[in-house]
Structure 1
Amino acid sequence: MPVREHRHPDHGIDPLFVNRWSPRAYTGEEIPDAILEQGFEAARWAPSARNAQPWRFVYSKRQSSSWEAVFGLLNGRNRLWADRASALIAVLSKTTHDDGSPNHTHSFDAGAAWANLAHQLFLAGWHSRAIGGFDRAAAGGLLGVPEGVAVEILIAVGRQGAVDALPEEFRQQETPSGRRPLTAFVSEGTYRAG
Structure 2
Amino acid sequence: MTLLTDTRRAETAAPLHDLLAERWSPRSFDPEFVVPDEAVTALMEAARWAPSAANFQPRRFIVARRGSEAFQAVTDALSEGNRPWAPNASLFVVAIALTKDADGKPYRWAEYDAGQAIAHLTVQAHALGLHVHPMGGFDPEAIALSFELPEGAVAVSVNAIGAAAPADLLPERYRSREAAPRTRLPLEELVVVDD
* TM-score for the superposition, normalised by structure 1: 0.90
Encode CA deviations 1:150-188: one digit per residue, 9 max, x unaligned: 111111111000110000000000135221111111121
Structure-2 residue corresponding to 1:36:
40
Structure-2 residue corresponding to 1:129:
133
**Structure 2 segments unaligned to the other structure (5+ residues):** none
Pick the aligned partner of 1:179 from 165, 184, 189.
Answer: 184
Aligned residues: 190
Structure-2 residue corresponding to 1:81:
85
| Counterparts of residues 64-143 of structure 1 (less than 5 Å) | 64-97=68-101, 101-143=105-147
Structure-1 residue corresponding to 2:15:
12
Contact between 1:52 and 1:97, CA under 8 Å: does it hold in 2?
no
What is the Cα deviation at residue 61 of structure 1?
A: 0.4
Question: SS state of the match for residue 85, structure 2?
Answer: helix
Question: What is the one-letter code of the residue matched to 1:14?
Answer: H
Question: What is the one-letter code of the residue matched to 1:10?
Answer: A
Encode CA deviations 1:107-149: one digit per residue, 9 max, x unaligned: 1111110100111011101101111111222110101211121
Structure 2 residue 27 is matched with structure 1 residue 24: yes
Question: SS state of the match for residue 60, structure 1?
Answer: strand
- Give distance in 1, aligned partners of 2:6 and 2:184: 13
Contact between 1:6 and 1:178, CA under 8 Å: does it hold in 2?
no
What is the Cα deviation at residue 42 of structure 1?
A: 0.6
**Structure 1 segments unaligned to the other structure (5+ residues):** none
Indicate how the Cα distance of structure 1 residues 90 and 2 shifts in structure 2: closer, same or farther if over 3 A, else same.
closer
Quote the RMSD (CA, aligned, Å): 1.9
- Give distance in 2, aligned partners of 1:115 and 1:189: 25
- Give distance in 1, aligned partners of 2:61 and 2:13: 34
Contact between 2:9 and 2:22, CA under 8 Å: does it hold in 1?
no
Q: More displaced, 38-47 or 59-68?
A: 59-68
What is the Cα deviation at residue 189 of structure 1?
A: 7.5
Contact between 1:92 and 1:110, CA under 8 Å: does it hold in 2?
yes
Identity %: 35
- Give distance in 2, aligned partners of 1:170 and 1:71: 18
Question: What is the one-letter code of the residue matched to 1:17?
Answer: L
Question: SS state of the match for residue 173, structure 1?
Answer: helix
Which runs of at least 4 in structure 1 moved beyond 4 Å after TM superposition?
2-6, 97-100
